[in-house]
Structure 1
């Protein structure tokens, strides 16, 4: 099956829920990160086998053999894997990706459907910027309307109506934090060749969204200054829509890994644990349209702690108000 959806919709969250509640199915995962740092691949846990592809969209970044070699790597372990889930990047073209899978014609695989994850908060604004997302919705076999807990019932109703107008067949499943009954994901009704037929109807009329987007990757082995980073997130560099990654602050009492997640104006940190042997390093990917790469890199570098940075516990207050987790 393919899990698709625009930037920050909750694909990785849904995938992790599926891996944690797999009904004893052994799951192999292909994760496609748009940025040079495989943040999503690092966030996925509990798969029986994983292939990570970064720095581009799977729908156009593979070689002339398509996705076949990736799938072959996993199906060689078919005695250990029951299901393969492909998590597309947030600006991939799901129809093209499905076509590549079907054209691979792997005799050991049956296409399990296209799941489109919808951000209930951002969907209306996203489709105004990118009308092509209606095509993505129309291709789906299952629509997961995520983050319904963050909007009022009126907005949920409006988004559901838009989804139904774009796709009259696929079930619409409301969800919070990507929590969906795995049985719905494993039992999708797929009409053979439907995506190929719809893809031919769309043809070249829909521009690929990823052509308008850039990514900036940033790493620092030195800790970050909490206030400076918080200020940067507040003013958000021009063109940046999505930021994801891990932050090391190094402030006494707050030496955990902080997972950063932003979509639009939404900002959230989550405390996590560093894995044994994992470098305590800040790794961030910023995605957006019309980004001034040099300026963004300079702004991030200015957030690295120096001799003037506060190191007491109160220095974390600008971050803690947007933090949850142990």
Structure 2
């Protein structure tokens, strides 16, 4: 299932610059949906990089669609296997409400896609004069999985740390567990957003990225770190779900294939977690079970502590899983399935998981 990443933020916060930076990363095929109020045709020439498919929603904002149908139609088009996309990015208009956008994605019916997180971009210079002017922290922060505090380079150097801390504290009033990263020129590490397929452009890729990459300075981007823990033997599903439901605070993403005991033998599952939103599905054939591992990605990652936590959760289990663990596993599979497929994931009479 292709992750759908949404970029939100007030007008001028730096969403398009952030998108451009993501698209200049080589080796990843990205589909883009651009939402631009008041324009019939979006000038996709303004978006540089490896855009293999671009669609536009015009004349309104994503959150104001009467239902998810308009968005679902575009997502379904971009999720076609023939496009071979690794990710889809939706750049919402500056007027879009992240809460409503989140609702559209969660309750949409587009096949072949899954939520990949909502990135809310904040203008560190103007935020306290435009967006955050009330007594309570803006509700929009509650939907974000990653907050990028941008334009810190436009503040006096001595004021940057204090401004970042002040904005971070304000965001966490509404969303205590959200990941927050500082940025200048809207530069963030793409590994926080989607998987990096390779370090060089494939031969059949569009040449735009190579031409535009030199124009983008990524030296300001906080570098993401990763910790990989192998999963050679089957683990207990309850232990894995404990990890997904209460991940290490500094791990923004968890991903990989793991083996779990399901009461009727061993099954392999694909794990994807962004922010605090886990996604679990039965693994498809083709990948090598010998390579099963769980990877944690974050900016300020305590590699030793996070690695120990992952190893504890993936320790091989010799006992059969409890009925409670299997019920939790079933519930997570149901929540991770598209709406039209949720009836296909069932628990047998002996409470074993099937798909």
Aligned pair 1:175/2:178, yes or no?
no
> By how many angstroms is 1:12 displaced?
0.4
> By how many angstroms is 1:70 displaced?
1.0
TM-score, normalising length: structure 1: 0.54
Aligned residue runs from structure 1 range 58-207, under 5 A: 58-61=62-65, 65-77=69-81, 79-129=83-133, 134-151=138-155, 152-153=159-160, 154-186=162-194, 187=253, 189-192=274-277
Unaligned runs of 5+ in 2: 195-252, 254-272, 280-355
TM-score, normalising length: structure 2: 0.50
> By how many angstroms is 1:129 displaced?
4.7
Distance 1:20 1:121 in 2: 26
Distance 1:31 1:130 in 2: 30
Distance 1:132 1:13 in 2: 29
> Does the 8 A contact of 1:27 with 1:82 survive in 2?
yes
Partner residue in 2 for 1:30: 33
SS of alignment partner, residue 56 of structure 2: strand
> Does the 8 A contact of 1:33 with 1:41 survive in 2?
no
> Does the 8 A contact of 1:66 with 1:104 survive in 2?
no
Q: 1:131 to 1:137 in 2, by over 3 A?
A: farther
> Does the 8 A contact of 2:34 with 2:42 survive in 1?
no
Q: Deviation per CA, 1:138-177, whole angstroms, max 9, x where unpaired?
A: 2110111110111222323322221222221111111111
Q: 1:78 to 1:10 in 2, by over 3 A?
A: farther
> By how many angstroms is 1:112 displaced?
0.5
Aligned pair 1:55/2:59, yes or no?
yes
> By how many angstroms is 1:25 displaced?
1.5
Q: 1:3 to 1:60 in 2, by over 3 A?
A: same
> Does the 8 A contact of 2:137 with 2:171 survive in 1?
no
> By how many angstroms is 1:62 displaced?
5.7
Distance 2:64 2:135 in 1: 20
> Does the 8 A contact of 1:112 with 1:190 survive in 2?
no
Aligned pair 1:43/2:51, yes or no?
no
SS of alignment partner, residue 89 of structure 1: coil
> Does the 8 A contact of 2:76 with 2:112 survive in 1?
no
SS of alignment partner, residue 111 of structure 1: strand
> By how many angstroms is 1:115 displaced?
0.7
Distance 1:169 1:138 in 2: 10
SS of alignment partner, residue 112 of structure 1: strand
> Does the 8 A contact of 2:33 with 2:91 survive in 1?
yes
Unaligned runs of 5+ in 1: 195-326
